[in-house]
Amino acid sequence: MRPICWLHISDIHMRVSEKWSHDVVLEAMCQNIAKQRREGVSADFILSTGDLAFSGKVDEYKLVEAFFDALSNASGVPKERIFCIPGNHDVDRDRQKMCFQGVRHVLLSTSHVDSFLSPAEDLEMLLKRQGNYRSFLESYLAGQERILTPDSLGYVSCVVIEDVRFAIIGLNSAWLAEGGLSDHGKLLVGERQVIDAVSLARSHDPHVIIAMAHHPFHLLQEFDRGPVQSRIEDACQFFHCGHLHEPETRRIRSAGSDCLTITAGTSFDTRQFHNSYSIVTLDLLQATRTLKTIQYNPRSGAFAFTASEEQPIEIVPTAVCGVRELAATLTAYRSSLAPCAHYLAALLLDAKSEIPILGLNGYAFGSFAVLRAQPEGDLKSKTISFKSFSNLLRVFYGRVELVDLLARYGEPVARYGAILQEIGGSQEDLKARLVDQEKDARMNAEAEPEKGLSHTSALLASLSAEGDWVSLREHAARHLESPDRTVAVQAKRMLALGLAHSTENMDRVTAADLYRSLAKEGLAEPSDVRNLATVLVNVASFEEAKVVLLNGMRDFEAKASGGFYDIGLKIVAATGDREFRKQLEAAIAARGKRD
């Protein structure tokens, strides 16, 4: 898996009176980006964090379009992958002056903001101040898929790169902005906007979430700043912003989250300013994220000075793999790994930490930290490459079948297994230690739950209990072909359940087909019968629903058939079929118990 890369530009401040100066600086930027591309630094998408224009006027966005065209050509990034949000300079301050002043005076609490951000004419009226920016977004980026938050302030876009799903959250922090010092401590994002955007992002089951807004957190009103910041930092691996005209980074780690805030420098202030843009590189194999800031030199007229910093990244796994399951999959992937499969699995899952290290007097066992301090060599490089597979397990496990993950990225694991067996054959005591490590790992694995894929069942059950029907459908669909028969059946059942809760008629029809399939295979449970009958009622297939219910009441014990009678009464109410009601009551009487 190659590193994934994106560009971060901000605050280009396009205005007609400065067009010549803009062209000089931004052409130099595009030349440098093209140079980076020729040298192998190829961007996958671009983030532009606000202040595209200078005063939010129509003619300024024509200049933005021309620059974005040049940026796309230089970087190779299609314009559909240029993601923007507005800044205070994207506000036309000549519009809705009285509305703006009034809103600033009344939005003084979270409850006021929550109410204002519900779809209403007041918000729509205020957003006319960003009308030209919005028109630019809808016309120039018409081909970009964006899912708007209910208040239409924010959006979520999803891109897949190297099998990694990114959810990009665009937040509008400028809807109550006018610029200058008067904005400090007066701005609002709105916790409601963030909650809705994060919910939309998570519904797409992303591996990485990137949020962006124009303004840093400290410029928000005090009651808004804390909730907005904590929700973003808890949900996202990256937060990009601009406005300050000086680059800055800050890493926030807490239980279950690891967010890197990247504040961009300005991409155009004046020709004499040290304008800049940034390149962010995410290397999931090495669990690192690198920020490179490239600065403009006014004397040379070129972007040349580079500052670089590297930060680790910790992605919390959505599900936890077991040693036994991973060892079994390793053996299926390469039978030659069988003698050390449990030891390899335990190393990858941090259930074991001791590895062979070459010393002056032969091989000894030590930690990965000790290994990294060793001179470069074949064993060191293969061990580090092997260990990098742990990061892929964190990102993909529970979303991609293990067998598929190994087929795509498992070669370093196979090479490390081969070198273990090779060096084990060269030294008897080392061979004995490796055998002991395998025995110990196998013994510990036997203490794990017997059901190797129990995490999948638990995940599907959890999504069902939470009523997260979109995620349930996505996860269940991935496990329909699971080699574990129990998991495959549960996946079919859960996919049917998720589709049954859809508002789309075709989804309900598909759900009914899945439930019929379970019945045909003799796998139906009482809940499947109830759900099938409910789906049939929802699609107005009342005759089939009657048959399904009566058969269910006959086939299942009365205690397990709770709810059948209630569904039957709904059919009676919808159809007026009194004869069917008599059949229901006869079925109940035959059981000797009414539901």
Name the DSSP class of 375: P
End-to-end CA distance of the chain: 56
Judgement on whether residues 420 and 495 belong to the same structural domain of the protein = no
Residue 550, classed as helix, strand or coil, is helix
Structural domain includes residue 317: no
Say if residue 423 is in the same domain as residue 469.
no
Q: Are residues 267 and 242 in the same domain?
A: yes
Residue 58, sorted as left (phi over 0), alpha (psi -120 to 50) or beta, turns out to be alpha
End of a domain among 284, 312, 340? 312
Residue 328: how many CA atoms within 13 Å on its side-chain side? 14
Kindly report the CATH number assigned to the domain that includes residue 525. 1.25.40.10
Do residues 57 and 22 both lie within one domain? yes
Which residue in 403, 400, 452, 7 sits closest to 207, CA to CA?
A: 400
The domain in which residue 372 lies consists of 323-445
Assess whether 270 and 347 both reside in one domain: no
- Residues in the chain, overall count: 595
Secondary structure (3-state) at 248: strand
What's the pLDDT score for residue 570?
87
> Which pLDDT belongs to residue 450?
53
Angle, helix 485-500 to helix 505-520, in steps of 10 degrees? 150
Give the number of other Cβ atoms within 10 Å of residue 258's Cβ: 19
Q: Among residues 408, 428, 445, which one ends one of the domains? A: 445
Residue 439 and residue 463 share a domain? no
d(CA 38, CA 64): 25
**Is 318 within a domain?**
no
Total number of domains in the chain: 3
Q: Which pLDDT score, from 0 to 100, does residue 173 have?
A: 96
pTM of the full structure: 0.72
Q: Angle, nearest 10°, between helix axes 389-396 and 378-387?
A: 10
- Map residue 314 onto helix, strand or coil: coil
Q: At what angle do helices 428-445 and 411-424 cross, to 10 degrees?
A: 130
Residues of the chain with pLDDT under 70: 255-256, 318, 449-459, 462, 483-484, 557-562, 591-595
Q: What are the CA-CA distances from residue 230 to residues 87, 113, 252, 259, 475 (Å)?
A: 21, 17, 10, 10, 28
Q: Which residues contact 580 (CB under 8 A, 6 or more apart)?
A: 546, 568, 571, 572
Per-residue confidence (pLDDT) for residue 198, from 0 to 100 = 95
Give the residues across from 187 on adjacent strands: 220
| Of 445, 466, 499, the domain-final residue | 445
Token readout for 472 is: 């349930």
* Cβ proximity of 107 and 120 under 8 Å: no
Q: Return the number of other C-beta atoms located less than 10 Å from residue 424's C-beta.
A: 19
Measured distance CA(456)–CA(452) in Å, rounded: 9
The pLDDT of residue 320: 78
Residues 287 and 403 in one domain: no
Instruction: Pick the closest to residue 89 from 8, 176, 179, 171 (CA basis).
Output: 179
Q: Is the dihedral of CA 76, 77, 79, 85 positive or negative?
A: negative
Q: Based on the domain organization, do 92 and 156 belong to the same domain?
A: yes
Predicted pLDDT at 529: 87
Q: What is the CA radius of gyration of the chain?
A: 29
| The amino acid at 248 | E
In a domain, 142, yes or no: yes
Please tell me the predicted confidence (pLDDT) of residue 457: 67
CA neighbor of 1 nearest in space, from 284, 237, 417: 284
Residue in 232, 386, 252, 384 with CA at minimum distance from that of residue 313 = 252
308: domain CATH number is 3.60.21.10
What's residue 181's pLDDT? Answer: 83
Q: Give the C-alpha separation, 355 to 340, whole Å.
A: 12
Q: What is the pLDDT of residue 122?
A: 83
Q: What is the pLDDT of residue 108?
A: 87
